[in-house]
Structures are given as C-alpha cells and as structure tokens.
Structure 1
Amino acid sequence: MGWSCTKKPNWLELPTDLMKNILQRLDTLDIVMSVRYVCALWWNIYKDPLMWSTIRMCDIDLEHIGMDSLEKIARRAIDLSCGHMKEVYIDYFATDDLLKYLSERATHLRRLRLSHCYGGISNKGLSEFVKKFSLLEELDISFDEDAYDGSLEEIGLCCPLLKSLKLRRMISSYYFNDAFTIAKTMSGLRHLTLSRIWLSDDRLLAILDGCPLLESLDMQNCLLFKFSESLEKRCLEQIRDLQLPKICCQPYKTVMVLPRRY
C-alpha cells in the first residue's frame, strides 16, 4: 500500500502578488496593528504602496481603541499609499482634519464612505475638501439633522463622474431641498439611495427628470408625501430596480404600499 503525502503547503512560498491580494482583504486596523509583525515577508508587503489602495475601518469596537488612535492609523495608511489610494470606508471617527489630509494625498479616490461621523465632519469641511476628489464615482455618507445640507451642490459640481450616491439621515427630516440639487448637478447618477428623508411629488419628479440614467432608486426607509399614481407609474417605467417605502402619506390618510415585483 502506497503512502500519501502528508506534507502541508508552506504559506510563505505563495507568490507575493497572491499573498498581497489575500492581505488586502483584511481590515486596515488588523494590517497595521498585527499583520505587519508576523514575518519579514509580510513586513515588506505592508510597506508596498500598492497594498494601500483601500482603507477599510468599519464596525470597530470603540471600547478598545480611541478615536485619536484610529485617526493616526488612517493617516499612516494614507501615507503608505503614496497617492495610490482609490477607496476609503470609515465609520465613526472621520474628522475635517482627516478629510483634509486625505484630499491632499489621495486625489485619485474613486469610492468614499463616511458613516456615523457625527460632529467630526462639518458642512464646510465636506464642501471644501471634496473639490479635490474629481474622480469620485461612489459616495456614501450618513449624517444628522443639520450636517451636510448644501454640500451636495459642491459634490455635484466637482465630481462629474459620480455614479452612485447614498445619503442617510439619522433623524427623519422633511427639510430635504437637496433633492433639487441632485437633479441639477448629478445627471450621471445611476444608483441613488435615500434614507429617513421625506420626499414629496415635486422632489421625486425633479430627481427623475434630472437623472435620466438612473437604474436603481432605493427609498425603503423614506417617507413619500402625496405620492400620486401617475408618479408611481413614471417610477416603474423609468427605474429598473425600484425600492419604495412601506408607507406613503396622502392628504388626510396614510397608505400602506404593498410589495411589488419590478
């Protein structure tokens, strides 16, 4: 009877490009605080600028690491990228200072997510520094009641390649006149997600008219006010992937919207 080979493969013998591809899938925090200390090979990969095309710092346990430490780690990753950074995903700790630092060193940015960064990023800061991101294609931001109102015009004017926009308010609000700004300055949008925002017929119609390339529109967590049958028909005809709210407010009554197949 022959003997089968039981020798385990040596992961250190993997091609460097393959190892780099594997490590890039880890969270930035893990790479900076742990991975780089494993061995000399991983240390050299850590220092490769092409390793830092993405910052991914989401779902972080803030009880074990402070905001200041997180910002320092993000800055270190930005420095290591040497201008090759294309994607940034940050929860909680982003600030105006960090956004300024990023805008000066990552002018080829394609995708940006800033989630739950309450108080850290101001309307003025977002308006000023987004001007450097002219190649931006995807933007995902969540904000409180007053933050970022008015910034969308700068984003629309300075980011002509923008194809995907996600806006999430943490507190539901009726005051969302930026729907007209989206329609006026973001004609190239293909994907739009709005959350905790009240939309009236005129605002939604403006988006449909101003964004003729729109393929998907997600309003599941919004509230539609005076949603007419003609507008619903227009949405169904124009939008391939349409997600309507469960509740629409009509004059003197509230209407449940039944699930549909689009």
Structure 2
Amino acid sequence: MYIYLTCSSNEIRILGLKYCSIEEKKLNVYEFAKKLPQLNELSVSYCAEISKDFLEAIGTCCPRITKLILCKWLHKNGEIDEDAFAIAKNMPQLTYLHLDGIKITNVGLLAILDGCPHLKWLHILVCPYLNLKGSLLQRCRQQIKYFHFD
C-alpha cells in the first residue's frame, strides 16, 4: 500500500495514517518520505511501529511539514523522549503539534519548544511522564499562542 501511495503522486500535501502497520525493517522510511516532498500535514494515529526513524525521515525529506498529529497511546516500544527529540531536531517549521499518548518528559518538551520556534498550536494529551508545572508551564503559555494540556 505505501509503495502505491507514494508512487501515485509526489504532490501529496496531507497524509493520515491510522491503525496501520508499517514494518520499518521492510520499508525504507527515507525512500518513502523522499516521495512526499510537498507534504505539509501528517497525522499518525495508533500505528505501533512508527518510530523516531520515521519521524526523522519525514522531518528531513519533507521540509514543508507544518502540522503533525501523533497519537501512540504509550506503546511499549521506543524510548522516553525519542519522538520528542526527533520532532525537535527535524521539524523546525512546525506550527501545529498534537501529541497524544507519547512518552515525553519535561526535557523532551523543552527540546520541542527550542527546536520548533514557529509553533503556535500545541495540544498535549495523556502524556503521564510529563510534569508540566512552574517555569515550563509558564514558558508554554508565553511561547505558544494556543496551548492545551490535559
């Protein structure tokens, strides 16, 4: 399916992946991402195999990406903050970020705030490793125009 998707058009601007199974060992995520140069919105929901490598590939190969929705619901695979660091390092043009069920701590959120200076919308839901208080909460409120934390 992913080969068909990326071969059908290199003009894809919005992509949503939900309840999918991407076996990254079989799929070269950089080759996949390279075929999406116009992508500016990506929504990934409940795809357990999506890793930091996928996020790095999208950020590197899709420089127009401005909106990311990432819902994982705390899958067992992956290290704490690895998704946050991949986003912070590779997606500096983000203006909208929605994180749901991501293994993120205050360190990961700080990396995102530093690495994504254009961020205007930030929605964080069900991220139990995050302890949003004090100066970090104040920074979010000052830096992000539309901030929601639950």
TM-score greater than 0.5 by the shorter chain? yes
Distance in 2 of aligned mates of 1:143 and 1:130: 19
Contact 2:44 2:69 in 1 (8 A): yes
Aligned equivalent of 1:165, options 62, 68, 71: 68
Q: Which residue is 2:96 aligned to?
A: 191
Q: Which residue is 2:24 aligned to?
A: 123
Q: Which residue is 2:16 aligned to?
A: 113
Contact 1:183 1:207 in 2 (8 A): yes
5+ residue gaps, structure 1: 1-97, 246-262
Contact 1:126 1:151 in 2 (8 A): no
Looking at secondary structure, tell me which structure has more helix per residue. 1
Cα deviation 1:152-187 (Å, max 9, x = unaligned): 111100000000001111445563412111111100
Cα deviation 1:130-169 (Å, max 9, x = unaligned): 2100110000012344x12121111100000000001111
Cα deviation 1:77-117 (Å, max 9, x = unaligned): xxxxxxxxxxxxxxxxxxxxx11112112100000001111
Q: CA deviation at 1:221?
A: 2.6
**Mean CA deviation greater in 206-215 or 219-228:** 219-228
Aligned equivalent of 2:39, options 129, 136, 158: 136
Query: Secondary structure of 1:213's partner?
Result: coil
Bigger radius of gyration: 1
1:88-103 residue pairs with structure 2 within 5 A? 98-103=1-6
Relative contact order, higher structure (CA 8 A, sep 6+): 2
Distance in 2 of aligned mates of 1:237 and 1:99: 40
Contact 1:217 1:242 in 2 (8 A): yes
- The Cα RMSD (Å) is 1.8
Distance in 1 of aligned mates of 2:15 and 2:28: 12
